[in-house]
Structure 1
């Protein structure tokens, strides 16, 4: 049994990635049939094998308890930001105060940082622009910047804190 586990781990280095690849393949394919499922499963087997060779930092997962609330927060923020940005864009251009802010990061897991940058970029009105070399600061462009400190505090409490639980 001890020799079987390493073999299984080598064949399936990331079961979550394999499942994600199959799911995305099925969503992107034009038909839901056995051939597409087999092809998706083959890709789900092969892609993680290559990904482990490229990725030297493996994702360490902590607790998944914050995931449902975090997803709700992100979706809610996307909805509200869409409305806010539409109002800002349709209003007078002189009212907009675009700007850049550096968000100091407490999270050091690269996968958590990637999720954080994705959440920020998915939210209309903000875009992750750069990550410092030491991964301690994230440059964010904001369409309308009123209070940098409160925006930083909001990003850290709404996104970074739960991500630190998921990616310790």
Structure 2
């Protein structure tokens, strides 16, 4: 069964999405959606990463709420920084963060966290996954930012994925 349908939920979701986007239940759309749902997972199966194994779900839940809090706080900080930019411009900078996290799933989660939290942008990952280049909207102290980033985001992700 897994050879014919390597990802049955994905097949079903693609079929449903096709029908939803076309707003039609005609025979042609039913067939095209079924073909898309059947062939896409087979063709893209080599691109799918190995399944992730979450070792510490409690840490993952704690990290989820921590990121949620940081998103709210960072929204306010960035908004305040934009409002006061005329009188006190932000000190934006690129920061090179050394990484101890090398797991692909952990790095993907870290990139999503950097994208979601306002004021930070994931710019580049070193080829050997040893360092991350980030752009920070308003940077007071680079050393303090790196330490905060590593303890708040990287270490929990290492506990979860490595």
What's the TM-score once normalised by structure 2's chain length?
0.75
Structure 1 gap ranges (5+): 1-6
1:149 CA displacement: 1.3
What's the TM-score once normalised by structure 1's chain length?
0.73
Q: Which residue of 2 aligns with 1:3?
A: none
Q: For 1:46 and 1:95, how far apart are their aligned partners in 2?
A: 52
- Is residue 85–residue 125 contact of structure 1 (8 Å, CA) maintained in 2? yes
Q: Which residue of 1 aligns with 2:151?
A: 157
The 3 A distance-change label for structure 1 pair 53 and 125 is same
1:22 CA displacement: 3.5
Give secondary structure in 2 for the equivalent of 1:95.
coil
1:18 CA displacement: 3.7
- TM alignment of 1:89-168, pairs within 5 A: 89-93=82-86, 94-168=88-162
Larger radius of gyration: 2
Q: For 2:78 and 2:142, how far apart are their aligned partners in 1?
A: 17
Aligned CA-pair RMSD: 3.4
- TM alignment of 1:4-153, pairs within 5 A: 8=2, 10-11=3-4, 13=6, 18=10, 22=13, 29=20, 47-55=40-48, 57-65=49-57, 66-93=59-86, 94-153=88-147
- Is residue 22–residue 43 contact of structure 1 (8 Å, CA) maintained in 2? no
Q: For 2:122 and 2:68, how far apart are their aligned partners in 1?
A: 17
Q: For 1:163 and 1:11, how far apart are their aligned partners in 2?
A: 34
Structure 2 gap ranges (5+): 27-31
Q: For 2:118 and 2:102, how far apart are their aligned partners in 1?
A: 25
Q: For 1:44 and 1:155, how far apart are their aligned partners in 2?
A: 40
Aligned length: 156
